[in-house]
């Protein structure tokens, strides 16, 4: 999948796969109230070491981030998704191949399709 996406779209693609039931549980457990002024995100993380590292970092960041089962739940003001401290950390090369951020609305649509 990664190779096919990379070749087709001309960028280095990274794929994290989850079983339907696991994804459903992740979405159901989103802990923040959703509203029209914020994005509701789930950050998926591959690898225990990276997860633990980001977990430690997230505790020192003044943002709405909660740790889930190998995921982070993140609520961020619309228009600021790429400007926050945590988003800049996630954008580092070190984390790029091990994480992906998805809007909860997208995940909910995936579950009903």
For 66-102, the DSSP string reads EE-SSEEEEEEETT-TTTSHHHHHHTSHHHHTTEEEE
Mean pLDDT of 89-94: 94
Using the predicted structure, report yes or no on whether residue 3 has a pLDDT greater than 70.
Answer: yes
Using the predicted structure, report yes or no on whether residue 21 has a pLDDT greater than 90.
Answer: yes
Q: pLDDT band at residue 113, thresholds of 50, 70 and 90?
A: low
Q: Which CATH number do you get for residue 81?
A: 3.30.70.1260
Would you state the pLDDT for residue 14?
78
Q: pLDDT band at residue 56, thresholds of 50, 70 and 90?
A: very high
Using the predicted structure, report yes or no on whether residue 102 has a pLDDT greater than 90.
Answer: yes
Indicate the number of domains in the chain: 1
Global pTM reads: 0.88
Range of the domain at 23: 2-112
How many C-beta neighbours within 10 Å does residue 105 have? 13
Using the predicted structure, report yes or no on whether residue 73 has a pLDDT greater than 90.
Answer: yes
């Amino acid at each position: 999948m990664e190779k096919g996406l990379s070749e087709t779209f001309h960028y280095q693609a990274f794929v994290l796969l989850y079983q339907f039931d696991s994804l459903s549980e992740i979405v159901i457990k989103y802990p923040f109230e959703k509203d029209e002024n914020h994005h509701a995100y789930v950050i998926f993380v591959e690898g225990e070491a990276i997860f633990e590292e980001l977990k430690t970092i997230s505790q020192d960041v003044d943002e709405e981030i909660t740790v889930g089962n190998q995921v982070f739940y993140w609520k961020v003001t619309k228009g600021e998704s790429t400007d926050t401290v945590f988003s800049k950390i996630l954008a580092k090369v070190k984390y790029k191949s091990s994480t992906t951020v998805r809007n909860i609305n997208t995940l909910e649509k995936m579950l009903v399709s």
